[in-house]
Structures are given as structure tokens and as C-alpha cells.
Structure 1
Amino acid sequence: MNIVCRSAFHLCRRPSIIADGGRGVHTSCRRSIVMPAWVIDKYGDNDVLRFNENVLFPIIHYPNEVIIKVHAASVNPIDVNMRNGYGAKSLNMSRDPLNVKMSGTEFPLTLGRDASGTVMECGLSVRYFKPGDQVWAAIPPWKQGTFAEFVVASVNEVSLKPKSLSHTEAASLPYAILTAWAALVNSCGLSKEKCPGKRVLIIGSSGGVGTAAIQLLKAWGAHVTAVCSGNAFTLMKDLGADDMIDYTAARLEEQLRTRELFDTILDNIGGTHEELALQFLKPWSGASYVTLVTPFLYNNDQLGIADGMMRTGVTLASKVMKHYYKGIHYRWGFFAPNGPSLDEIGELVDAGKIRPVIENVVPFTDVPQAFKKLEAGHARGKTVIQVVDPKK
């Protein structure tokens, strides 16, 4: 069978594609084909980040994968957590064995979840995309990431980039807005049909997920109350929030008591906010509380997979039942890669209903500085990594 390699690389650097008995597609690269990437060889603080110009070029293992040339990426809290080793046991169990070295280690590990770039090569079963397409994607944390010149992604993780956004702008949105989507849609059952008239409270509204959730909910017609510090009020109002609560001005509980009860609460902070927030949902009305701060990965790290899963299951079940008897749906929210949802989000972006919130743009050489900025806290938007200089 003759298979044409669809690639924009110079002929001498072009990977060859080989069929694997109908099972998948493998890109057979010479070991001399390398790319620059930011990697870690162990877990720790910012000192473990290492710029490596000789990372092996990614390969297509399965027929539904594409290789993307990354123009821009962005930093998310998950990147800092993964650098520190948080969730390693769970993520390593989920990693594709074809992408792990024979020794069984995940290192060198490339971080980065967001990408906006150009499709360079497609697996044999890919029909929706072709080389040259401008795309954006959110890569799940169990895969090699986007702080690299190229990345491999499943077509289920990729969508055509909104035409109204540059690569720099597009790279700031996918992971955060898909996390918000998973919490609101998958966990709480909200949608553009069900949102009109709903009252939604967002705790921790000025971060990446919070700013994305505000815009998504407003695009669907919900009434949104944002909890943040007072210096973020201008941003919250600009994004469409109907009401703002400054948690630094007075006790949050006292301020919430002056508001009507809510249909849905999205909690990005967790901790003591959980029990507090649950008091302000409409009882026996199908109201939902969803938190993105869960003990799932922590339990597995501390107790091992089996005991950690058991502890997590018991914790979740007890909380679900406790609040179910009060007429409240208690949920945990987790990021889920979702190309079709990115398609819908892209339509909202091009319609002017969702826009990127970017605080800083740094060159590819300054990835450690981007991590420091995120760890310092109180960001008012995303920090974007400019992998390819748009002026070139």
C-alpha cells in the first residue's frame, strides 16, 4: 500500500508514515530529528524546568492523531501542580505506554496543556482536519504537553481555531474554558437552553476558569454573581458579571445573606468555602454545587491508587448523600478534552460573546518566568507563551 506523507517539512527532515497492520499509524523518525521543548527530569520547584533543544520529534501512534506545530501555549495551575509532582501516580497510570520510555518513567516530561497552531501531519483516519489547518486544542495532563515546537493530539482534543483570534489569543482559552464547560455542563447539566434565568455564583471568579465561566454563562443567558477581590471588579463587569462580591471587604457569609439564593455554585477555591456556599443554594429545586478542588489526586498520591480510590469514593459518596437529603446536587468537576465543545465555544468567540483574557505574553525562552508569575497569584488573565514569533 502506498501512503503519501503529508508534511510541510523539508524533504530531508520529513518523517515517513508506515501502516501497522490496520491498527494504527506510526511516524518513523530519524533520531536526528529533534525539536526544542521545556521539560522536567524530576519533580520540584521552578529549578527543575529545563530548556532542551534536542527533544525527539513527536510521532503519530494512532490513525486518529495529528501533529500540530505550536505557535502559542499558555500556563495553567495544572502545570505548576504537575511540575511539583501532584497527581503523578494517577497520571502515570493513565499515560499511553507507547509514549513512555521502556524504563517505565514519564521523564523527560513536557508540560503545557493549551495550544494554538498549525496542523502539520495527519493520521490515516483523520478526515476533519488537513495539513495547514489553523487549530486550537487542550491536551490532557496524561500526555506530553505543549511547551514544545510540536505536539501530538487526538482529533477529539482539537478544533479549528476561531477566525477572529490570533494564535496568541486562542492559546489562552482551551484548557480553562473546557474545565469550566466540564463543571457546568457535564457536572451540573447546564446548557444554553437551560441557563436563561438561572442564578449562578462563581467563587474564585478572576482566574482562568472563572473568567471563562462568566462569559460562557452570560452567553447562555444566566445571571452571574462573581466572588473576587475588589480590584478585579472592573474586569468582572467587563466580562458581563451581573453582581460582584468583594470577599476582602466583609465576611463572605454576611454578603451572601443579602442576595437571593442560587441555582448553581461553581467553586474554584474549595476549603472552608464549600460548607459556606452550600447554605446559599435553593433547596429542593434541583440546585447544584460543583467544586474543582477535590481530594482525588491527593489521595492517590498519598495512599496509592487502590486505597486512594477507595478513600475518594467514600468521601464523594458521603457528601453526595448528605446534600441529596437537603435537595442539593453535590458534584466534583474535572477537565475533559472535548474538540466538539471547542467547536461550539469557537462559534461563541467569533460571535463576540467570549473573548480571551490575557495579562502577559512572554517569549518561549521565558517559560520559567511565566510559572513564577502564576505562582505569585492574583493574576488578572492568562500568561501566554509565544512559541513562534508572530512577526517572523
Structure 2
Amino acid sequence: MHQRKVLQILLHFRHQNLRYFCSLPATMKVWQTYKYGGPEELVFCDTAHVPFISKPNDLLVQIHAASVNPIDVRMLGGYGSVAIGTLKRLCDFPQDPAEFPLTFGRDFSGVVIDTGRSVKNFKPGDEVWGALGAQRQGTHAEFVLAADSSVSHKPKSISHIEAASIPYVAATVWSALCVVGELRRDTARGMRSLVCAGSGGIGTFAIQLLRAWGAHVTTTCSTEAVHLVTQLGADEVIDYSTQNVMEELKMLKGFDIILDSIGQENADFYLDLLKSWSNSKYVTIVPPFLMNTDKYGVIGGTLLSLVQASLDTAKGLKDGRSLRWALFAPSGCVLKTISQMVDNGEITPVVEKVFQFQDTPDAYRKLQEGHARGKTVISVKNTA
């Protein structure tokens, strides 16, 4: 432990010297919270310490733009704090062991400032994008530390503002459809898919990925978003403002895969929409794990979640259908693939509104209102 502390001190002085010679400031601007609540709990700080690299595979990135996701708003309210706090302690982040202050934000686009000694694929000056695990301090700040495994080179064809809208939803959708749902480009053609809530960040990305791979896409949205999701490639759109969603879906049943991004209460209904005896899957990215741990603690919540997962898995197995849980997982490899798809014109960023960094709480308030049409992005650096 003593040797480790000495190493951290030496690393700190190394980076302080680097900042001196490279004109990198010792402090940065950041939005933080000191207690859980709503956007009114976000506090602007212009004297936070710029983080220094203490892990060999980390990058220090100057953020040009970052997005705000619904999960950020929920985490500001305390959602997942028990499980995420435990994860932080297990990961042992010595530079910030306390629960507060907290900085939210999962994805970003920016420029590499410095790299750990084991980083091989990135160098200072590289434009990168990425998405961070919840155990790390977030991206609603001027600088952030990111593991090299969670970033890739930014697509060349889009701006930082556009790029910041993609990494979190891309990694989440990939985890749901490709890892848990076992979908592949070479097997997706002709498959029938349902994307619930197609106009939000998750939905707009999922529609494009499925369409690029040749799947038939059905989605749900409000009247105002029908044109958007149709432009993105949805083949059939159910307008929940004017149509009975359940009745319409019953007439379209026979899906190979269903992606749920909002947490459906009637999972049995959606299971019945899947094809029988075809290894079809209903995948939700809103499993009850974090809610359970918040309510019952890590041990109790984990045990309850295991029971629920077992029951959900058993529901459709008798006729070749399954209900599966998926979680966001950072992946630079996935982002590398998506970067190529963006530059090839297969994926287009969908940015609904851009807020300036000083207006970050307003971006959170917008997300609270719901009815998203793509992503909300914060311009952190004026040149973004």
C-alpha cells in the first residue's frame, strides 16, 4: 500500500509537470452534484482538479461535446447508487473515493491530451469518441479519464457535436441486439424486428442499425415523430397517439427480435408477439437489477434479480422464445465498427437540441420532459 501511494504521488507530479510544459490547466470546469435530486442540484464548479493518469491503460481526453442520456437524469435522482457505489469501491478509484461530488455523463467526443504508458493505439492530438462505465466520473466536464478499451477514433465525416450523440446508445443497442440478442450483419437480413419507442436516442440508433443490416423494422412513436422514424428506415410505424398499439401489434405478430428501451410492464404480451420455435428474443435494456439493489441492498437485490431473471428466462423456453436482459457495456471495438458505418453513411447522428455548457441543467430538464426526438448534446468546448 505504501509503494502504491508513492507511485500515485510520483504520477501526480509527472502530470503536474506535463501541464506546466504543455500549458494544460490544473483546474477545469465541471457540473457536479453533492446530493441526489433534480437538475436544481447540479452545481457549476470552475476549480475542479483536472484528473491525472494513474492507470497504464487510461487516456486523458479534452471533451469537446458530451450528450445527456435519460440514465443521467435517473442517476442524478439516485437511481442505481447502491450498485454503482459498490462497483466504484471494487474498482478502487483512489483519486475520488467519496460518493460526492458526482459528475454525470456517459459519452463524449474530444481530443486525446495524454496517455498511460501501456496505451498503444492512441496518441495526443487524436480525435476520439467513447462511452464510460458508471463507476467513472462523468463527461459533463472539460476533461475526463477513459480506458483505452472504451474509446475509438472518432468518425471523420461528422463533428464533435454529432459524434457525442452516438457512443452510449450505440454500445447499449449493440449489447442488446448483438451480444444478448445474438444478431449479426450476415444473419439479420429479412428478420422481423420491433423497436419500442423508436424516436428516442436508443430507438433512432437501433432502427438505423437494423435497417443497415437488412432487417424489417416496426416501431412505435407519437404522431410528431412518424416522419423522423420513417426517414431513418422504419418499414412500419404505429402511432400511439392515434392508434391502439396492442391491437396493431397483435396483427403484426411474428417478430424475430423485440428491443424494449422503456421497460414494458406486460412482458407476457410482448413474448406472445415473437415467433414460436425460432429462437426469437424479447430483449429489455431496463432490467430491475439497479432498482432492486437500491431497494434491498446489494446482496438482497442481487438475489432477487437472479430469481427474476430465472423466471423471465423460463417464460418462453417451452416454445423457443426467450426474454432476456441487457445492460450497457463500454466497448471501443464496437465504436470502431460504428465509426466505419457512420463514415459509410449507414448511420446518421440524430441530434434534437444542443445546449451550451453553462446551460447543462436545462439539458437535464429537457430530458425530464420525455418525448425525445433523438439526442440532446452539450457543447463543452466552443469549437465543437
TM score, norm. by length of structure 1: 0.91
Aligned to 2:108: 115
The offset of 1:322, in angstroms, is 1.9
Q: How does 1:84-123 map to 2 (within 5 A)?
A: 84-95=77-88, 96-99=91-94, 101=96, 104-123=97-116
The offset of 1:257, in angstroms, is 2.2
Aligned to 2:22: none
Residue 98 of structure 1 aligns to which amino acid in structure 2?
F
Aligned to 2:307: 314
Residue 361 of structure 1 aligns to which amino acid in structure 2?
V
Residue 36 of structure 2, aligned match among 33, 43, 64: 43
**Contact 2:271–2:322 (8 Å) recurs in 1:** no
Pick closer, same or farther for the CA change 1:24–1:280 going to 2, 3 Å: farther
Residue 190 of structure 2, aligned match among 176, 185, 197: 197
**Contact 1:287–1:327 (8 Å) recurs in 2:** yes
Residue 177 of structure 1, aligned match among 153, 170, 177: 170
Aligned to 1:73: 66
Residue 155 of structure 1 aligns to which amino acid in structure 2?
D
User: Gaps (5+ residues) in structure 2?
Assistant: 20-24
Matched, 1:26 2:21: no
- CA distance in structure 1 between the partners assigned to 2:39 and 2:213 by the alignment: 39
The offset of 1:278, in angstroms, is 1.2
**Contact 2:62–2:144 (8 Å) recurs in 1:** yes
- CA distance in structure 2 between the partners assigned to 1:25 and 1:357 by the alignment: 44
Residue 226 of structure 1, aligned match among 215, 219, 223: 219
The offset of 1:42, in angstroms, is 1.0
The offset of 1:97, in angstroms, is 2.0
The offset of 1:228, in angstroms, is 1.1
CA RMSD between the two structures = 2.1
The offset of 1:287, in angstroms, is 0.3
The one-character-per-residue Cα deviations of 1:179-216 (angstroms, maximum 9, x if unpaired) are 11110011100011110111000111111011110111
Residue 123 of structure 1 aligns to which amino acid in structure 2?
G
SS in 2 for 1:325: helix
Residue 337 of structure 1 aligns to which amino acid in structure 2?
P
- CA distance in structure 1 between the partners assigned to 2:349 and 2:301 by the alignment: 37
Residue 86 of structure 2 aligns to which amino acid in structure 1?
M
Residue 136 of structure 2, aligned match among 143, 146, 155: 143
The offset of 1:26, in angstroms, is 3.3
SS in 2 for 1:308: helix
SS in 2 for 1:105: coil
SS in 2 for 1:72: strand
Pick closer, same or farther for the CA change 1:167–1:325 going to 2, 3 Å: same
**Contact 1:66–1:122 (8 Å) recurs in 2:** yes
- CA distance in structure 2 between the partners assigned to 1:221 and 1:24 by the alignment: 53
- CA distance in structure 2 between the partners assigned to 1:19 and 1:160 by the alignment: 32
Residue 201 of structure 2, aligned match among 208, 213, 228: 208
The offset of 1:122, in angstroms, is 0.4
Pick closer, same or farther for the CA change 1:248–1:275 going to 2, 3 Å: farther
Residue 355 of structure 1, aligned match among 348, 351, 354: 348
Aligned to 2:337: 344
**Contact 2:315–2:322 (8 Å) recurs in 1:** no
Aligned residue pairs, count: 372
User: Gaps (5+ residues) in structure 1?
Assistant: 1-17
Pick closer, same or farther for the CA change 1:99–1:21 going to 2, 3 Å: closer
Structure with a larger share of its residues in helix? 2
**Contact 1:24–1:63 (8 Å) recurs in 2:** no
Percent identical pairs in the alignment equals 45
The one-character-per-residue Cα deviations of 1:44-99 (angstroms, maximum 9, x if unpaired) are 11121000011111111211110000000010011101100110010011113224
TM score, norm. by length of structure 2: 0.93
Pick closer, same or farther for the CA change 1:353–1:309 going to 2, 3 Å: same
The offset of 1:272, in angstroms, is 2.7
The offset of 1:24, in angstroms, is 12
